[in-house]
């Protein structure tokens, strides 16, 4: 349980850090990209300001191209020979004109086209250095981000032990207290129960009957508390082996037939045959016993339906019973310790509110899934998904 909480703590913390890193990355790259665009606009404007009537060959520009064509077909141009050659500038010019766009980019060259009825003016600026800087910044940031994220993961992982150490110590002490107290209570409860049996031989009245009922209920509660303490303290050694789940669960259901008959109920089954799975037989029996016992105690109809179906590599077991007072919002609460939807009903049936908590813990240890679906004021269905 604490291990799952620690993993959740690490996962949430790392997701938050990832969100912070990604947000900061987007902001940083947005600013860098904006600066590149601004510097490009400035470079293009500076070249445009240098255009004057007359030949362009006398105009000196850096990292750019200026081409002017007239309606009569005359072409005048200038360019920075350190960045381009004559073939390249006219290839870029042709691509820009053919695109039909008055502005854009071709590779690392950004251009603008100005046209009127007499001439077309084409100006372009080389931004390869700025784009290379932008690309290198992205690479460096990614490497720093990856390194920092890995380092922070190990820091958070180590910190989680420090954060959860007091909780773990308190949890261990709590379980130890429950275990010790339960063991201490078993002796007086046994004595009271034995004394009540002796009294019933002499005078079996309502007071003796109440004593017997309450000692039985207390004994069941202590057994449940010991089971939970044992499950919480350590994962029991699981004897996982190949099982015929259909046969094993069928035997568990058969054990409840006599009890169901006594209460005027019937358990119907719909099982796929020969479902085989690798699992711990004791855990399967424990969880099925709890669910069937719960259904018999709280069913408000004569029929309880059990199904077992194969679904790929998994097997799904369900227990359905009518419950005309069940609320839909209790489907998660019913797995909480000592939760009872109907306290008076639980006292009558001897329920302690721990059965489903134990079932959930057994499922968690075996990495199975258990959950409830509820039709409000109609029925409740418990689902167990067995997986290897």
Contact 283, 366 (CB under 8 A): yes
Q: Is the pLDDT of residue 347 over 60?
A: no
User: Helices 245-254 and 281-298 meet at what angle, rounded to 10?
Assistant: 40
Q: What is the pLDDT of residue 179?
A: 65
Do the bridges between strand 303-311 and strand 266-271 make them parallel or antiparallel, or are there none, so unpaired? Answer: parallel
- Token pair recorded at residue 64: 């750019």
Could you tell me what percentage of the chain is helix, strand and coil, using 3-state DSSP and rounding each to the nearest 5? 60, 20, 20
Across the range 65-75, mean pLDDT stands at: 82
Q: What is the pLDDT of residue 127?
A: 87
Across the range 209-235, mean pLDDT stands at: 67
Instruction: Please tell me which of 136-150, 201-215, 320-334 the model is most confident about, judged by mean pLDDT.
Output: 136-150
Query: Which domains does the chain possess?
Result: 237-386 (3.30.565.10)
Alpha-carbon distances of 250 from 154, 315, 326, rounded to whole Å? 48, 14, 28
Q: What is the pLDDT of residue 343?
A: 43
Q: What is the pLDDT of residue 249?
A: 92
Q: Is the pLDDT of residue 88 over 60?
A: yes
Q: What percentage of the chain exceeds 90 in pLDDT?
A: 10
Strand partners, 111: 104, 124
Q: Is the pLDDT of residue 105 over 50?
A: yes
Give the model confidence (pLDDT) of 122-162 as tens digits. Answer: 899 998 888 888 888 888 888 888 898 899 999 988 888 88
Band (pLDDT 50/70/90 cuts) for residue 318 is very high
What is the three-state SS of 35-79?
Answer: HHHHHHHHHHHHHHHCCCCCCHHHCCCCCEEEEEEECCCCEEEEE
Q: What is the pLDDT of residue 309?
A: 92
């Amino acid at each position: 349980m604490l291990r799952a909480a620690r993993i959740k703590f690490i996962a949430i913390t790392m997701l938050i850090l990832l969100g912070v890193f990604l947000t900061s990355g987007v902001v940083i790259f947005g600013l860098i990209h904006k600066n590149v665009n601004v510097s490009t606009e400035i470079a293009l404007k500076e070249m445009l300001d240098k255009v004057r009537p007359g030949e362009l060959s006398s105009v000196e520009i850096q990292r750019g191209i200026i081409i002017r064509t007239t309606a009569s077909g005359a072409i005048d141009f200038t360019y920075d020979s350190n960045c381009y050659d004559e073939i390249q500038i006219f290839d870029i010019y042709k691509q820009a004109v053919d695109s039909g766009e008055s502005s854009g980019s071709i590779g690392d060259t950004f251009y603008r086209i100005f046209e009127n009825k007499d001439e077309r003016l084409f100006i372009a600026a080389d931004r390869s250095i700025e784009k290379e800087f932008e690309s290198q910044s992205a690479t460096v940031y990614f490497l720093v981000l990856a390194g920092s994220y890995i380092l922070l993961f190990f820091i958070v992982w180590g910190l989680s032990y420090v954060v959860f150490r007091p909780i773990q110590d308190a949890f261990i002490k709590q379980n130890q207290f429950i275990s010790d107290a339960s063991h201490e209570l078993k002796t007086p409860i046994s004595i009271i129960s034995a004394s009540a049996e002796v009294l019933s031989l002499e005078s079996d009245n309502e007071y003796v009957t109440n004593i017997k009922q309450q000692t039985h209920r207390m004994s069941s509660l202590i057994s449940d508390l010991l089971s939970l303490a044992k499950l919480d303290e350590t994962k029991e050694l699981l004897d996982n082996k190949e099982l015929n789940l259909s046969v094993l669960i069928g035997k568990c259901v058969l054990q409840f037939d006599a009890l169901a008959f006594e209460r005027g109920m019937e358990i119907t089954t719909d099982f796929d045959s020969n479902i085989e799975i690798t699992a711990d037989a004791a855990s399967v029996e424990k969880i099925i016993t709890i669910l069937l016992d719960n259904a018999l105690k709280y069913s408000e109809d004569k029929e309880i339906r059990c199904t077992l179906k194969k679904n790929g590599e998994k097997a799904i077991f369900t227990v359905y019973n009518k419950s005309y007072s069940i609320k839909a919002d209790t489907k998660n609460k019913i797995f909480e310790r000592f939760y009872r939807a109907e306290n008076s009903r639980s006292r009558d049936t001897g329920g302690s509110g721990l059965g489903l908590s134990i079932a959930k813990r057994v499922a968690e240890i075996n990495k199975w899934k258990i959950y409830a679906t509820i039709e409000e004021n109609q029925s409740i269905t418990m689902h167990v998904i067995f997986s290897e």
